[in-house]
Amino acid sequence: MVEQAVALLQQCVAGGQPLPLLALNLSGNSLCDRSFLDVLLALVEDPRIGGHLCFEVTEAAVVTNMSQAVYFIQELRKRGCRFALDDFGSGLSSFHYLKTLPLDFLKIDGLLVGNATMDPVDRSMVEAITKVAAALGIATIAERVESAAALERLTGLGVDFAQGYHLARPEPLANLQGTAAAP
């Protein structure tokens, strides 16, 4: 998938089109695989490409492999790649280690987001996550935004970005060709 994403970005560069920001999920095992890191580093040698890739890693994978995750993230960020911590808020020690991770985005767990319009506790948790992320210079992304009411509430809480069926359905990467927009 990473090779396909890089190929799409290279096509945009060659065609003089704006490059989209592509988010790709990585497994926890990927963070510990040095040969996979080497492949990624080779793929993002072109500085125009790295800045348009955002790798998403789950909170659980990072906590389980903290030292390897930090090294992995730092090496790819040196090449312009961005990182999002996925499912944030699902673990109990989330805030404790957040200061040590070099992140660009923090994806707020969809269970919290989904209940934020009705449940004052979940709404407060989303707001707290958003405030801490802002203090650290990390943009927030709300997962599973399913309605206009949820989007409005999240915007009011200071969430920076949103994803979910209310905004768009998942599409194959090939559908993005020719419709790329700058992030």
pTM of the prediction?
0.70
Q: Any idea which architecture 2-176 has in CATH?
A: Alpha-Beta Barrel (3.20)
The β-bridge relationship of strands 161-162 and 82-88 is unpaired
Residues paired with 86 in a beta bridge: 58
The span from the CA of 159 to the CA of 144, in Å, is 13
pLDDT, one tens digit per residue, over 109-150 is: 898 898 888 899 999 999 999 999 999 999 999 999 999 999
The span from the CA of 9 to the CA of 12, in Å, is 5
pLDDT, one tens digit per residue, over 8-60 is: 999 999 999 999 999 999 988 898 899 999 999 999 999 889 999 999 998 88
For the chain, the domains span: 2-176
